[in-house]
Structure 1
Amino acid sequence: MGYYINYYMDYFLYLLPALIVTIVAQVMVSRTYSKYSKVRSGRGYTGAMAARAILDSNGLQNVGIEHISGNLTDHYDPRTNVVRLSDSVYNSDSVAAIGVAAHEVGHAVQQNRGYLPMKIRAAIIPATQIGSKIAIPLFFIGLILSFEYLTTIGIILFSATVLFQLVTLPVEFNASRRALQTIEQDHFLEGGEVTGAKKVLSAAAMTYVAGLLMAIMQLLRLLAIAGRRND
Structure 2
Amino acid sequence: MFFDPYYFLYIAPALVLAFWAQMRVKSTFAAAQKVHTSLSGAAAARHILDSAGLQNVAIEQVAGHLSDHYDPRDKVLRLSQDVFGARSAAAVGIAAHEAGHALQDAQNYAPLVLRNGAVPAATFGGNASMIMLIAGMLLSPKIPALGILVPLGIAAFACVVVFQLINLPVEFNASARAKRLLVDHGIVATDDMVYVNRVLNAAAWTYVAATLQAVLTLLYYIMRFYGNRD
**Letter of the aligned partner of 1:18 in structure 2?**
A
* Residue equivalent to 1:227: 226
- Distance, in Å, in 2 between the alignment partners of 1:4 and 1:90 is 42
User: In the alignment, does 2:16 pair up with 1:20?
Assistant: yes
- Distance, in Å, in 2 between the alignment partners of 1:79 and 1:229 is 45
Q: Any gaps of 5 or more consecutive residues in structure 1?
A: none
Q: Percent identity?
A: 42
* Residue equivalent to 1:133: 127
- Please give the root-mean-square deviation of Cα atoms over the aligned residues, in Å: 1.6
- Distance, in Å, in 2 between the alignment partners of 1:89 and 1:226 is 45
**Letter of the aligned partner of 1:13 in structure 2?**
L
Which residues in structure 2 correspond to 1:188-199 (within 5 Å)?
A: 188-199=187-198
Q: After alignment, is 13-22 or 88-97 more displaced?
A: 13-22
- Distance, in Å, in 2 between the alignment partners of 1:220 and 1:73 is 30
| Residues 187-211 of structure 1 deviation map (CA, whole Å, 9 limit, x = unaligned) | 1001221111011000000000000
| The one of 93, 98, 103 aligned to 1:104 | 98
User: In the alignment, does 2:66 pair up with 1:67?
Assistant: no
- Give, in angstroms, the shift of residue 105 of structure 1: 0.3
* Residue equivalent to 1:202: 201
3-state SS of paired residue (1:71): coil
- Give, in angstroms, the shift of residue 229 of structure 1: 5.7
* Residue equivalent to 2:175: 176
- Distance, in Å, in 1 between the alignment partners of 2:110 and 2:151 is 29
User: In the alignment, does 2:26 pair up with 1:30?
Assistant: yes
TM-score (ref. length: structure 1): 0.93
3-state SS of paired residue (1:205): helix
3-state SS of paired residue (2:60): strand
1:4–1:201 Cα change, 3 Å? closer
- Distance, in Å, in 2 between the alignment partners of 1:192 and 1:181 is 14
* Residue equivalent to 2:143: none
| The one of 6, 11, 31 aligned to 2:7 | 11
- Give, in angstroms, the shift of residue 213 of structure 1: 0.3
| Residues 109-152 of structure 1 deviation map (CA, whole Å, 9 limit, x = unaligned) | 00000000000011110011111111012112212223331010
User: In the alignment, does 2:85 pair up with 1:123?
Assistant: no
- Distance, in Å, in 2 between the alignment partners of 1:65 and 1:100 is 13
- Distance, in Å, in 1 between the alignment partners of 2:57 and 2:7 is 44
* Residue equivalent to 1:166: 165
3-state SS of paired residue (2:200): helix
| Residues 29-62 of structure 1 deviation map (CA, whole Å, 9 limit, x = unaligned) | 1111111112212xx1100110000001001011
* Residue equivalent to 2:51: 57
* Residue equivalent to 2:87: 93
- Distance, in Å, in 2 between the alignment partners of 1:20 and 1:137 is 27
Q: Any gaps of 5 or more consecutive residues in structure 2?
A: 141-145
